[in-house]
Structure 1
Amino acid sequence: MQHRLTAGPLLDDRGRLAEAGWATSEVRRYDRRAVASPRFRIKEWDYYCVLTQEVGLALTVADNGYMGLLGVSWLDLGARAEVTENVMLPFPMGSMALPASADAGDVVASHRGLRIAFRHTEDGRLLEIDHPGFDDGRGLSGELLLAQPPAVSSGRSAGSAPDRMVVATPFHKAPKAFYYNQKINCLSASGEIVVGGRPFAFDPGSAFGVFDWGRGVWTYDNTWYWGSASGLVDGKPFGFNIGHGFGDTSAATENMVFVDGRAHKLDEVTFHLPRGTFDGAPWTFTSNDGRFDMTFEPILDRAASTDLLVLRSIQHQVFGRFSGHVVLDDGSRIEIANLLGFAEEVRNRW
């Protein structure tokens, strides 16, 4: 049974999750001051990933308590190559001032010559990046505007805000731990990124992004699985968010399909990974309700490993193409062929 969140503060007066469940808008209000755990245990991040058929850009600004991070990844899907560079900040513990809402407040962060900004404008979300030292001095800079088209699905008022994935998740035997996450799919992108003096244009008809907004207090040792894709199917914005692996998801999972601005809630989705490889053999995905069945053909594994004894992170974010079908809430079936996206396995001790 998937429980739908009601409106109100995210945390109760003891700093614990007031309600676990899912929603399609930001109905619960996050307040860092209400968190019961120490500042060094609070994890907050904003992450954007924007893909065209040829290239992609991923930007991260994260305040994970005892470690901050500014991250830039440039993906060349045609060449099956990528460059990722991260700049670490020691013990920010809230000083990076990440917003309490996914819909308000700008993020501006700079360190060691790398500058990242996420701004809200009348036209959408503006991503700014300037990294002169990227890839041994090749440099990377530019701006992308991500637009959220209004929902026009049947039963929705014209111009209404599109649905998103929202989930509030507790953790077993850790009453002060929680994860409040929002994923916004189908963000059409326009603008230009210059890498090594070469401009790359992002056209809103073929370039789409996802926004991952996370706030919470995590337990120490976790493995998560996440998959996401956005694009056009039959001329309409289409995307999905799937995942599992951490926290107590008995109240709600994060699995949703989005068609023309409207969310269709799924139950559990299982990731079937090939043994011994991440970017070789295909992955498959199935849901227990029979509504999500997909094959994923890998193109590129953005692999990263950090081992600082107490802190450890092993990441495999694999980019590729999804093919299969989904069944919507009304029982209609949509066939998917070669939809660009990613799936990942991340193991963290932090």
Structure 2
Amino acid sequence: MSTPQRLVQDGVRHWGRLPDRPAVANPLDVYAGFTRRVKSLRLKEWVGFTLLHPDWYSSLIIQDAHYLASSEIYAYDRTRRVLHQHAANASGGSPTLPAELLESACRFERDGYRITCSFSRASARHRIELDIAATPKAPAIHGQLSLDAMAATAPLSVSSRLPRGSMYTHKAAFPVSGVLRVGDAEIAFDPARDLAILDEHRSLLPYRTDWLWGTFAALTDAGPVVGANFAARPELPGEPEESCLWTPNRCEPLGDVVFEPASADPSAPWHIASQDGRIDVVFEPEGRKQVKHNLGLFAVDYFQLFGHYRGVLRGAEGDIGIEDVHGVCESMKARL
């Protein structure tokens, strides 16, 4: 199938695995009037990146739950084993998260905290700009990164029905260049080695929602990016999952992924495999970022582990060995 111009056309939503991101991806376009206003309170939108570098683990996100918005970034110094974190909140609807993402920019701005992600299909270059002031708990983070869309993985673009909701996501991994400064540390990103994995969601999630999710990617000796994105959440039979293998120049569908921590120890490794064996990897955590809130009707119990993967991907054109590849693995349980 060809990529639709809009996720919703003439009031009808496209479902399934799409070849690429629609130019306009707004699941609310199915609705009108009062129903649209009510559904907007269920819409959860975010744009985030996992940054892959041999010496630092880092992720950033801009998210809007439409009753509250927030942004977070962390950077973990592997040499010193120190985690630096910043976060900011804002009123719902205040971040810029345009439905026309790939020809626009998303922003989160507060005093002393600014993240801008600019996207351009025309130039095939995307940019991340960070300007975050130091706090008593964490050093300043500044930087500009450039993402090479011409050398990216094939995109993962999935529109699926969920129990009591729906999901749209777009993901890809990009070679990244530029400099990130964390306090007095200067982190140079090399596009022949380093990557940024985009995670965009525009989903009408059920009130009680949970998932397990992980991702990693690496550049091969021959140049193309390989990796995987995988998730386990309550699904409807026959609906596509947001899981894939990134093999050279392809995005191969993946499903029925099982996450098995070796023990209840927060630092224990995880075995992650699909039932058909096309992904079979072990994740070794090096650190943990956690968010836990209980506000009565609303609650979040979330953690993201950062570390490295080893194992095998079994793509359509052969096996790909994975060894000491940086990535993340996370758990979310929430009442949203």
TM-score normalised to the size of structure 1?
A: 0.85
Give the 3 Å change call, closer, same or farther, for CA 266–41 of structure 1 in structure 2.
closer
1:345 lines up with 2:331 in the alignment:
yes
Contact 1:58 1:74 in 2 (8 A): yes
The one of 189, 198, 217 equivalent to 1:230 is: 217
Matches within 5 A, 1:17-56: 18-27=13-22, 29-31=24-26, 34-36=29-31, 37=36, 38=38, 39-56=40-57
Give the 3 Å change call, closer, same or farther, for CA 349–79 of structure 1 in structure 2.
farther
Distance of 1:249 and 1:313 partners within structure 2: 27
> Match for 1:198: what amino acid?
A
Structure 1 vs Structure 2 CA RMSD: 2.3
Contact 1:317 1:342 in 2 (8 A): yes
Matches within 5 A, 1:1-350: 7=4, 9-11=6-8, 18-27=13-22, 29-31=24-26, 34-36=29-31, 37=36, 38=38, 39-92=40-93, 95-120=94-119, 122=123, 124-134=125-135, 136=137, 138-150=139-151, 162-172=153-163, 174=164, 177-185=165-173, 187-236=174-223, 237-248=225-236, 250-279=238-267, 281-330=268-317, 332-350=318-336
CA offset at residue 265 of structure 1?
2.0
Contact 2:84 2:139 in 1 (8 A): no
Distance of 1:33 and 1:292 partners within structure 2: 34
CA offset at residue 131 of structure 1?
0.9
Structure 2: gaps (5+ residues): none
State the SS of the aligned residue for 2:137.
helix
Q: Which residue of structure 2 lines up, in the alignment, with residue 157 of structure 1?
A: none
Distance of 1:12 and 1:149 partners within structure 2: 28
Distance of 2:237 and 2:87 partners within structure 1: 31
Give the 3 Å change call, closer, same or farther, for CA 268–62 of structure 1 in structure 2.
same
Contact 1:278 1:316 in 2 (8 A): no
TM-score normalised to the size of structure 2?
A: 0.89
CA offset at residue 260 of structure 1?
2.5
> Match for 1:109: what amino acid?
F
Distance of 1:245 and 1:282 partners within structure 2: 20
Distance of 2:212 and 2:332 partners within structure 1: 7
CA offset at residue 108 of structure 1?
2.5
Contact 1:87 1:112 in 2 (8 A): no
> Match for 1:258: what amino acid?
W
Q: Deviations over 1:167-198 (max 9, x none)?
A: 112122x3xx321101112x111111112233
State the SS of the aligned residue for 2:41.
helix
State the SS of the aligned residue for 1:34.
helix
Distance of 1:296 and 1:270 partners within structure 2: 13
Give the 3 Å change call, closer, same or farther, for CA 322–28 of structure 1 in structure 2.
same
Contact 2:230 2:242 in 1 (8 A): yes
Deviates more, 1:297-306 or 1:77-86: 77-86
CA offset at residue 234 of structure 1?
3.7
Contact 1:5 1:27 in 2 (8 A): no
Give the 3 Å change call, closer, same or farther, for CA 143–52 of structure 1 in structure 2.
same
Give the 3 Å change call, closer, same or farther, for CA 337–75 of structure 1 in structure 2.
same
> Match for 1:71: what amino acid?
E
State the SS of the aligned residue for 1:205.
coil
CA offset at residue 264 of structure 1?
2.0
Distance of 2:77 and 2:140 partners within structure 1: 15
Contact 1:32 1:100 in 2 (8 A): no
Q: How many residues align?
A: 327
| Paired-residue identity, % | 23
